Amino acid sequence: MTFQHNKINPYITGYGCSTAAGPTLEETLAGLRAFRGCFERDEKGRRIARRPGGTLSGYLDEAFKDLRSRERLDWTQEPYGVLFASTKGWIEDFIWKQDPGEGLRTDPFTEPFESWLTSQGLQPYRMLTVSNACASGLSALLLARRWLQTLPIKNVLILGADLARCFVVEGFDRLGALSQKEVRPFSVQRDGLGLGEGAAAILLSSEPHSDLILEAVDCDLQGDSPTRPTHAVNGLVSLYERMMSGGSAKPDWVIAHATATQLNDAVESQTFQKLFGEEGPRITASKRILGHTLGASSLIDATLACEVLRQGQGFPIADQPWMEGCLPGHLAFGTIGVQARLNRVLVSSLGFGNIHALGMFQRLELG
């Protein structure tokens, strides 16, 4: 199977996020570096990373405002595309009602997201939602890159957002996927994930207005179980090899999906060992602090990758090394490996339905 998947490398001309750690990427990164946990307990004692009073539109407002504070060009004067990455969108607004009525007849993304776009004065040439489970963010970047090559537009704004409210919290709880103690990615003592809320925004451009590029991105379905990442090691390895066939170099740093479930982290550990061996890049993750923000998570990690590249400074997975864990020698703890000159960061993402996605972010050396 061959794809024309690496024809251009879009420039990343703006990015921002809003998470449980704060309404900006700066505060999010500060929270990660200070190991400042954002989890609160809900009425049933389940740990959720969110800010009081947060709404989906509110998180989007903040992420977009953060992007606009950092963007490099006025892109709204010409036709542009918008993609929304989410697993459940605004479903909480109608699904619990006795009579959800019209709510059931139309998807829980389009109408409220278009209202949000209108509130921001945005009128895109084309808008779509990508709902590839927890790999939605990187999958939307894949479609955005294609749009830049096929549509009469030079810019695509990608937004991702999800809430951790009753619907998804009950669902993950029933699956037995929620951590009872502390989210410990790649630790042998890991016991599950903590859900989180947030949003992220990235602006991709076909014109060279930035030193950051989306060097490669791809997604794939491989496996035969709805919730267990069967065959995912081979799937991720072959996806990485396909994605890198254009000649890209190995990453200096990896932001792993790292939900801290037994299955996810085992798959990623084996994948990274297979891809990089013993001398691999430093591996970190954000979900210990920010929680798992579902469809927004890989887009939040993408914004972190951009800022890490720009600052030349990563963030650790935890302050103290786990007593025992997967990937010995690779994980970034405390200050080990945090300060380094970085040119490439890989973001990985796995979702229900055996969808997985990878994105490589690069900082160009400008003469």
The binding site for other proteins (CB under 8 A) comprises: 1-4, 87-89, 91, 95-96, 100, 103-111, 126-133, 139, 142-143, 146, 149-151, 166-167, 170-172, 174-176, 218-227, 231, 235, 351-355
Q: At closest approach, how far in Å is the CB of 101 from other proteins?
A: 10
Q: At closest approach, how far in Å is the CB of 60 from other proteins?
A: 16
Nearer to other proteins, 53 or 226 (CB): 226
Q: Which amino acid is at 339?
A: Q
Q: At closest approach, how far in Å is the CB of 357 from other proteins?
A: 10
Q: Which two tokens stand for residue 103?
A: 């709510």
Q: Which amino acid is at 167?
A: F
Q: At closest approach, how far in Å is the CB of 323 from other proteins?
A: 31
Query: Is the Cα dihedral 275, 305, 10, 85 positive or negative?
Result: positive
- The rounded distance, in Å, linking the Cα atoms of 41 and 47 is 4
Nearer to other proteins, 128 or 263 (CB): 128
Cβ–Cβ under 8 Å, residues 286 and 307:
no
Nearer to other proteins, 34 or 104 (CB): 104
Cβ–Cβ under 8 Å, residues 308 and 338:
no
- The rounded distance, in Å, linking the Cα atoms of 196 and 31 is 14
Nearer to other proteins, 10 or 351 (CB): 351
Nearer to other proteins, 239 or 332 (CB): 239
Q: At closest approach, how far in Å is the CB of 174 from other proteins?
A: 4
**366 CB-contact burial (10 Å; exposed 0-12 / middle 13-18 / buried 19+):** exposed
Nearer to other proteins, 146 or 310 (CB): 146
Element (H, E) at 276: helix 262-276
Q: At closest approach, how far in Å is the CB of 152 from other proteins?
A: 10
Nearer to other proteins, 145 or 184 (CB): 145
Q: At closest approach, how far in Å is the CB of 84 from other proteins?
A: 9
Q: First vs last Cα of the chain: how many Å apart?
A: 37
Nearer to other proteins, 139 or 286 (CB): 139
Q: At closest approach, how far in Å is the CB of 281 from other proteins?
A: 25
250 three-class SS: coil
Long-range contacts for 23-29 (Cβ within 8 Å, ≥24 apart)? Answer: 23/51, 23/62, 23/65, 23/66, 24/62, 24/66, 24/69, 25/66, 25/70, 25/303, 25/304, 25/307, 28/290, 28/300, 28/304, 29/304, 29/307, 29/308, 29/315
